[in-house]
Chains A and B, each alone.
Chain A
Amino acid sequence: MNAPVNATGVLHGAPIIKAVKEAGVSHVLSVPDIHTAGGLLTPIRNDPDFKLIRTCKEDEAFGIAAGLTYGAKRALILIQYTGFLYSMNAIRAIACEHNMPMCMMIGLLSKEVGVPPQESKKFGLRIIEPLLDVMGIERHYIDADEDVAVVAPAIRRAYENKHPVAMLVGRKPV
């Protein structure tokens, strides 16, 4: 399923954060991404309901999330699409081969407004959804406030059914 086009609208960080909380996430693991740094990471940093773990590279976050899962804690991995690409081997092994509930929120930095990721002029953005599909990873596209309703159910489903999920943040959250 390709991402829908949404040329108008706005994406607020607050409802995304609310949905993440509703899904029982206690830990956020992140390497800063300029696409989500202001709208998501900064309010998460200031939110006492979350424990923010800053990692040096994105693949560390997948190991930490696995350990947290074994300790019965839920985590959100907040990274840029380049970090997703960097972490491919960890995702392959931890999330896919070992059926771990890795919940990724992936910023699509510099994606053109109203353009589906697979039609972006940027090669790195065009390949994200096909890569997720070939790895069998459930994916959702969050481009405006009306898309945020998928967040909490997707995270809950990932933990209940032990599978990874990717939530692609198309528009820069405000």
Chain B
Amino acid sequence: MMNRTKCLEALAARLTDDEIVVATYSAASEWVEMSDRALNYYSFGAMGLASSHGIGLALARPERRVIVLDGDGSLLMNLGTLVTVGAAAPTNLVHMVFCNGSYEANGGHPLPNPKVDFCAMAKAGGIANVRRIETLEEFEAQLPAILSEEGPIFVEMVIEQGPMGPRKYDDMYKEERRQRMREALGV
């Protein structure tokens, strides 16, 4: 079982200025403190839609890798996305789901079934490149492939419970960040 902060630090160390990172809820709360990049996109709006935002970005900007930092509670609110990703098949999309079996951002209550098999569901949804990672060493070893292989790629990250708050959503979603991203993308 991994520590999410350590995983995000390993990811941040590998990224260039070119990738788009779509982060949501708990992962976003850590990412916003750790990595202040122009191409950070904080999934605003309804819970569960981070990967949907990611699909749109990946289809619109095929020259850039789009990495979605999702949570297991969030994904459960939009399971159909695994089928939509499988069908739309953006080759530049990485859907990374941090799984700790709980709605961490909502007080740490457990998922209806904390042992749900997301990799099996992603495969069944049509995503061929699926990985389940349980140790930091394994994650660091697989990162080069995750950041270069043809997608869509689904990564189930097995993590321990992280901090439950506070979360600075107002700062995360502020217009200045969104404007900076639009400028970085030339929109």
Chain A interface (Cβ < 8 Å from any Cβ of B): 27, 51, 53-57, 59-73, 75, 89-90, 93-94, 97-98
Contact = CB atoms under 8 A, between A and B. Distances in A.
DSSP class of B's interface residues: helix, strand, loop or mixed? helix
Interface in B104-134: none
B: interface residue count bin: 20 to 34
A53 B59 contact: yes
Interface string B43-63: 111100111111111111100
Contacts of A57: 78, 80
B60 A70 contact: yes
Given A53-B88, A60-B52, A93 B57 contact: no
A63 B56 contact: yes
Interface of B: 22, 41, 43-46, 49-61, 78, 80-81, 83-84, 87-88, 173, 178, 181-182, 185-187
Contacts of A69: 56
A55 B55 CA distance: 11
A73 B58 CA distance: 11
B80 A67 contact: no
A53 B85 CA distance: 10
A74 B90 CA distance: 17
Nearest to B56: A67
